[in-house]
Amino acid sequence: MRELSQNLAAKRDRLLKMLADYGSCAVAFSGGVDSAVVAKAAQVALGDKVLLVTGTSAALADGELAAARELAAFIGVRHVEIATEEFDNPSYVANAPDRCYHCKSELYTQLDQLAERAGMNVVVNGANADDLSDYRPGMQAASEHRVRSPLAECGITKQEVRELAAAWKLTVAEKPAAPCLSSRVAYGQEVTPERLAMIDQAEQFLHSLGFGELRVRYHAGDMARIEVPIDEIAELCDDDVRAAVVQEFARLGFKFITLDLAGFRSGNLNRLIAPEELLRFS
């Protein structure tokens, strides 16, 4: 294992002891770096008394499920998939700022039932210490379902999560954050599988052109707002690239194609949330 700082090594040891004390656990496993570190730590602490669970729906970007399967196999623990039904909930589809609460409530309801059938004592997620200071309606759902957040409880930050992932040689150590596709839809615009497919295909197309971390945001009137890092904006504005993007996005169903000159910013739709709503889940 790569050498860790004394402080992080102590946090790691506390994490392993916490998981060992559970006796067994089911991990809400997206395949991102946070849940991967929890999964690996659980495997180290509990051996085969771990179950990884990935929720699948139209909100999952192309390639993410295959990546989660591959990572679970690398970690070497049982992995199951459950089809979540958040799109059956009108409150989720309406896409108010608490959309994530309804999504996580559906996921954790199913996870509770699955964990009980599988004989798992505790359900855990990958929330880290930095998440506690952000707008996270899903954390309210976790609290209601008594889901534990061992990374956050051990004070492990996002950067420290990546350091642990690298130490454990997890392939996702440097993987960019990949929140669900619904997070790209502006609040107040209905979340539908068709709109998410447009977003997913648009982002995959930009990736195929060589762009890395990015977002395609959906706004009213079938408008796409593209975010790429500031140092890649000029490349996107190259005549040939711009023309190809316009043609493909129009084919996908976008009526307006815009470029955000402020560049890529993770979670920037939260800037549109009213202060009183932010306080509800802070």
What pLDDT was estimated at residue 162?
Answer: 97
What pLDDT was estimated at residue 169?
Answer: 96
What pLDDT was estimated at residue 2?
Answer: 66
The 10s digit of each residue's pLDDT in 171-204 is: 999 998 888 999 999 999 999 999 999 999 999 9
What pLDDT was estimated at residue 277?
Answer: 47
What pLDDT was estimated at residue 281?
Answer: 45
CATH for 181-265 (2.20.28, 3.30.70, 3.30.1340, 2.60.40): 3.30.1340
Q: What is the 3-state secondary structure (H, E, C) of the chain?
A: CCCCCHHHHHHHHHHHHHHHHHCCEEEECCCCHHHHHHHHHHHHHHCCCEEEEEEECCCCCCCHHHHHHHHHHHHCCEEEEEECCHHHCHHHHHCCCCHHHHHHHHHHHHHHHHHHHHCCCEEECCCCHHHHHCCCHHHHHHHHCCCECHHHHCCCCHHHHHHHHHHCCCCCCCCCCCCCHHHHECCCCCCCHHHHHHHHHHHHHHHHCCCCCCEEEEECCCEEEEECCHHHHHHHCCHHHHHHHHHHHHHHCCCEEEECCCCCCCCHHHHHCCHHHHHHCC
What pLDDT was estimated at residue 267?
Answer: 60
Q: Which fold has domain 6-167?
A: Rossmann fold (3.40.50)
What pLDDT was estimated at residue 137?
Answer: 85
Domain ranges of the chain: 6-167, 181-265
| pLDDT less than 70: residues of the chain | 1-2, 135, 267-282
